[in-house]
């Protein structure tokens, strides 16, 4: 591995902090022809993986039930020396059964809608689990980069 690649890699703690501070997750699944299907969702970190919610009949869920391979990406930065990101390749699990569905959905609602009361979180969670599922992405490979680490010392 090149010295630059090693230098810009994030530690596990940096990856976790970056994911916790990021809201948008690009999700790539494979359609029936093997072509990528790409969408963006809100998410939350769950253990060493990530979770997101979507309608149970969405194309991503259809694709993941057929083939659980998935790639997800979070990124930030406008200019080269500010670019940061985490890319995860893994397998997705569709969670559509209680009580796990409600527990993880509540985690997503709480994470992505700060400032809500407990009653509001519970009500939105109850509404969402009627037609939505949670997808848990278990990582097989995690790649990360933080180009801010390339800045000269003392800069």
Collect contacts of 128-131 with beta carbons under 8 A, ≥24 apart.
Answer: 128/53, 129/98, 129/101, 129/102, 129/105, 131/55, 131/56, 131/57
Q: Over the stretch 66-122, which tens digit does the pLDDT of each residue have?
A: 999 999 999 999 999 999 999 999 999 999 999 999 999 999 999 999 999 999 999
Q: Is the pLDDT of residue 2 over 80?
A: no
Which band of pLDDT confidence, cut at 50, 70 and 90, is reported for residue 43? very high
**CATH code at position 115:** 2.30.110.10
Total domains in the chain come to 1
Mean pLDDT of 20-36: 97
């Amino acid at each position: 591995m090149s010295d630059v690649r090693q230098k810009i890699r994030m530690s596990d703690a940096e990856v976790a902090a970056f994911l916790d501070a990021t809201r948008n997750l690009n999700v790539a699944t494979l359609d029936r022809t093997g072509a990528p299907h790409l969408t963006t969702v809100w998410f939350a970190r769950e253990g060493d993986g990530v979770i997101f919610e979507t309608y149970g009949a969405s194309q991503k869920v259809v694709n993941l039930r057929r083939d659980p391979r998935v790639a997800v990406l979070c990124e930030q930065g406008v200019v080269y020396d500010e670019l940061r990101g985490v890319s995860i390749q893994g397998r997705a699990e569709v969670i559509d059964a209680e009580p796990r569905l409600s527990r993880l959905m509540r985690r997503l609602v709480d994470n992505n809608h700060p400032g809500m009361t407990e009653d509001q979180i519970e009500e939105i969670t109850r509404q969402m689990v009627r037609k939505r599922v949670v997808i848990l992405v278990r990582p097989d490979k995690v790649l990360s980069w933080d180009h801010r680490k390339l800045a000269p010392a003392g800069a």
